[in-house]
Every structure is written in structure tokens, then in C-alpha cells.
Structure 1
Amino acid sequence: MARAQLDKQPHEVAAMFDGVAERYDLTNDVLSLGQARLWRRAVREALDVRPGERVLDLAAGTGTSSEPLRAAGAFVVPTDFSLGMLRTGKRRQPHLPLVAGDALRLPFADGAFDAATISFGLRNVADVDAALRELLRVVRPGGRLVVCEFSHPTWAPFRTVYVEYLMRALPRVARAVSSEPDAYAYLAESIRAWPDQAGLARRLAAAGWGSVRWRDLTGGVVALHHGVRAG
């Protein structure tokens, strides 16, 4: 499998995720030191889903991120452009209505959802600003968005250690637990190149999202950005 590059050609990124699908959730748990489960819970709380609401879970992978939303009573639609991820998810969680879809051309009507979320996927989209506008399109007026993405640790000494872990330790750990460790070299590079919390907030606002705010998790390793579509 050829690893994806930071120009994020869609076919390369999709092929990369196809290749890691089988052990993706396990690898994430190991590499995050178990924090991934806490981050998923934080997304559910930030999105504040109510029973019966329609929720788009974009870049849902195998659907693991969708389960907390479903458990809260939402009708969640897990969507991803990696067919390998979707096949793995359908085998493990056949009750989920998994949908193949491109973040830049979502296969949903305007205002189809009460809320939307994307966890650790916006960073891998070829055109981030277009994806944010497309999410705005499919969420109804007054609907919410939560973006969960790797960010920049706020404490400088920890930030230095974290970057060292990303670029050196993460690919080595991935070799022990992942079926395609080269993919995690790309993921480490993409995390380091991603904008900081304020930078992403500006991009949400520029895409049309209102009431934009963020909250740091794990010292800023991850940030939750929240936005609302104006009425």
C-alpha cells in the first residue's frame, strides 16, 4: 500500500484507510493510551444530542464513533469514503446505516440533519473549507456541528515532547500493532501540519458557522470545536 502524502489526494487517502481498516480501532486505542474512548464521550456531550435527532457522523470509519450518539437516542448516519472501513464496520455493527460518501459532495439533501460531527477526519480532507461549507449545507438552521480533531498542546514543554512522540515514537508503536504502519507516518505529519485551535475556529467562521468556540482535551492534544448554523 502506497502511503498518502500531505497534498491529500482522495484516492491515496481512501486507499490508506482501506489498508488499516481491520485493526484501526485497536491501533487508535493503543496510540492514544486509551484516551480515544474519552474523546468519543466528550463529542457526544458537546453535541448534546436528543432522542430522535438526525445526526451525521462524517468520517465515521468503522462506526465506532457513532455508537455513543446512537446510545443517546439519536438516529445517526455514519458516513465515510473508505469502502474498506465501511465493510469492516458493517461486519462488526450491522445495525448501523453506514453510507459511502465524500465530504466534499455529501449525498444528502439541504438541512437533512439536526447536527453533524466529524472526528479526526477533517484533517484528511483535500479541501477543508469546502468540507466545512458542505457540512453547513446539510445541517438545518439552528443545527450544531462538533469537530473533534488533533490540535496543539497549550503548555510549551509538553508540546515539545508531544511533537517528538508524533514524529518518532508513533510510527514505531504503529509497527507493533498496525497492519500498515507507514500510514501512521502520514498521520503524524498531518497532525503536525494542522492549524492550532484559533486557526481552525477562524476557518469555521469563514465557512459560515456561527457561535464558534472550542474546548481543549488532554491539554490541547485534541480540541473540540463547536459551531451553530444561523437561522
Structure 2
Amino acid sequence: MTRASLEKQPHEVAAMFDDVAAKYDLTNDVLSLGQARLWRKAVAQALDVRPGERVLDLGAGTGTSSLPFVAAGAQVVPCDFSVGMLREGKKRHPTLPLTAGDATRLPFADGVFDAVTISFALRNVHDTDAGLREMLRVTKPGGRVVICEFSSPTFKPFRTVYTEYLMRALPPVATAVSSNPDAYVYLAESIRAWPDQAALASRLQEAGWGKVAWRNLTGGVVALHRAAKIGQ
């Protein structure tokens, strides 16, 4: 299996990410035209971790997304369901406590994290709403979540250009730089099918999160959603 379907069977998606692990970070930098690093900085600023806090970084892949939290003095647990990604991450960052786990059945006790974050991986969770509820379960009362995910550009002419890039330009670029270009066709399709900013905010509220808000990055190509665990 080299390309998962949009039904997102977990074993298919995991196998797909296993396949692209070695070049995944490089490919993302190329395909995002260098924006991926800026988006990671925005996540770190939004989560605003403090020394000693416990942070769960879901969909962490090779662990690159966890490094800013480590630098801030937090105790970070990078978690991903792709063993191939985790294996690659262990080569690069041997001190990170990389952990295998399914976002819909997290291997952690209730209320153990001060903050939870997931970047560009929520749309690959086969049951998004179950994943949002699990994030809430493992977060302490008063804790917070930051979700960084592709979204819907706010300027209609740009939205059209962006969609054309995803479906026409992205596959040949991926062919040049990725070990599995079919995986990036799936990723482009999953971005197009993903809910917009307001719809994801509603799903966060339905999962039990409070103080839900979002802000757009790069004209809405990406959105940062923030929420807090209230009174539990």
C-alpha cells in the first residue's frame, strides 16, 4: 500500500507515512515553499509552553515539531502512529521520548498534560472527533490545545490558485523530491476535503473544548485553532 484512501484506514495511512519518513521533512519544506518552518514557529508561540510543563505533540513524525518545546524547557512526549517516522526520528533525535500511539486511543492517563498540540496530522486521524475527545481527556483542567492544519484560503481568487497548485503542481514536485509521490496526491486530496476554519472550531466545541478561537496563517492556507479545557 503506497497511497491511502480518504476513508483513512489507519494501517494504510501509517504504511504510507512509513514509506516517506526519510525525506518527509525536506519534502514539506519544498512543497510549502519554505512556509513550514514559519508555521512551526507560530505553533510554538501560540502554545507558549513554560519550563517544566508536560506537552503532548501528536502526529510528531520524526520529532522535528517537538524541538521548540524542548528548547523552551518543557517535558515533551512526541507521539505518532507511524513506526517508520518514529524510527527515523530516533536516528535524528535519540534523546526524544518518541512514543507510538493512535490519536483515537491514546496510551496516556487522564489529565496528565498541560498542553497538547497537533500539526498537519489531524486530518489523517481516521475518526477526527474521537481524536479531539482523546486530546481533551489527557489534558489537565485549565490546559490547552493548539491545532495547526491546512484550511481554506480567505481570498477567493487565491483559493482557486491554491487548489490548482495542490492538484496539478504538487504531484510533479513531489515526484522530484519524494520517495513516494502517490502519498502526496493523497495529502493534497485530504487537504481539499478538510473542513474550513469555522467547521473545525465547531467540532472542537462539540468535543468539549472551551474558549475556541482561530487565526489564519498565509491567508488561510493554514489555520491555528486554540482551545482550553474548562471546568473538568
Q: TM-score range by the shorter chain?
A: over 0.9
Q: Distance in 1 between matches of 2:192 and 2:166?
A: 8
Shift of 1:192: 0.2
**Partner of 1:79 in structure 2?**
79
Q: How does 1:70-219 map to 2 (within 5 A)?
A: 70-219=70-219
Question: Which amino acid counterpart does residue 193 of structure 1 have in structure 2?
Answer: A
Q: Distance in 2 between matches of 1:57 and 1:126?
A: 18
Question: Which amino acid counterpart does residue 67 of structure 2 have in structure 1?
Answer: E
Q: Distance in 2 between matches of 1:68 and 1:163?
A: 31
**Partner of 2:16 in structure 1?**
16
TM-score (norm 2): 0.99
Give 5+ residue unaligned stretches, structure 2: none
Q: Distance in 1 between matches of 2:225 and 2:208?
A: 14
TM-score (norm 1): 0.99
Do the aligned residues in 1 keep the contact of 2:56 with 2:79 (CA within 8 Å)?
Answer: yes
Do the aligned residues in 1 keep the contact of 2:2 with 2:180 (CA within 8 Å)?
Answer: no
RMSD: 0.5
Q: Distance in 1 between matches of 2:41 and 2:68?
A: 7
Q: Secondary structure at the match of 1:6?
A: coil
Q: Distance in 2 between matches of 1:102 and 1:225?
A: 21
Shift of 1:34: 0.7
**Partner of 1:224 in structure 2?**
224
Shift of 1:2: 2.7
Question: Which amino acid counterpart does residue 134 of structure 1 have in structure 2?
Answer: E
Aligned residues: 231
Give 5+ residue unaligned stretches, structure 1: none
Do the aligned residues in 1 keep the contact of 2:2 with 2:19 (CA within 8 Å)?
Answer: no
Q: Distance in 1 between matches of 2:92 and 2:191?
A: 28
Q: Distance in 2 between matches of 1:180 and 1:72?
A: 34
Question: Which amino acid counterpart does residue 210 of structure 2 have in structure 1?
Answer: G
Per-residue CA deviation, residues 5-48 of structure 1 (Å, 9 max, x unaligned), is 00000000000000000000000000001111010010010001
Per-residue CA deviation, residues 164-186 of structure 1 (Å, 9 max, x unaligned), is 00011011100000000000000
Per-residue CA deviation, residues 114-166 of structure 1 (Å, 9 max, x unaligned), is 00000001000110000000000000000000000000000000000000000
Shift of 1:72: 1.1
